[in-house]
Amino acid sequence: MERGSDKHNPRLDDQQKHETEGLIRGGGTTHAEEWKEPEAMPAPGEESLQSYPPGHAPGTPEGITAEGVDVRSDLAKWLSDAHWPASKDELVRHAEQVDAPDPVVSMVDSLPDRRYANVAEVAKSLGLGVENRRW
């Protein structure tokens, strides 16, 4: 009498058989537990049906352009680890030390000569817009 495997007990053999049954039959799932199921991809046009909590929708914040968001992101990427507050010259030196792209170095070099507390002040001085927060 063959029971399937001589490595496992009959209960484990039955559990493994149940887990692979969908794969063997070809149309079903290979997972025994429902929570392990992958989530289905949305059909074309259904992406807009997803709702977000108020104030958490993706996109451009009010008070700043999409281009401004990208530029601020680049500035933050290259300047966030600078020692703040920092002068214009310190920021230029830092950008050059971390091998920031030429457009970032040029923007920092075009700043008015003063001390900046953070990347947001740098972006504001460059005229990139300020995010309007309501809370």
Q: Where are the domains of the chain?
A: 66-126
Tell me how far CA of residue 116 lies from CA of 5, 70, 105, 119, 123, in angstroms: 71, 20, 16, 8, 10
Q: Do 62 and 48 form a contact (C-beta atoms < 8 A)?
A: no
Please tell me which residue, 128 or 1, carries the higher pLDDT value: 128
> How many other C-beta atoms are found inside a 10 Å radius of the C-beta of residue 70?
12
Q: What is the pLDDT of residues 31-61, one digit of tens each?
A: 556 666 666 776 666 665 556 666 555 666 6
d(CA 35, CA 40): 13
DSSP string covering 60-88, please?
A: PPTTS-HHHHHHHHHHHHHHTTS-SSEEH
Is a pLDDT exceeding 60 seen at residue 131? Answer: yes
Work out the average pLDDT over 104-117. Answer: 92
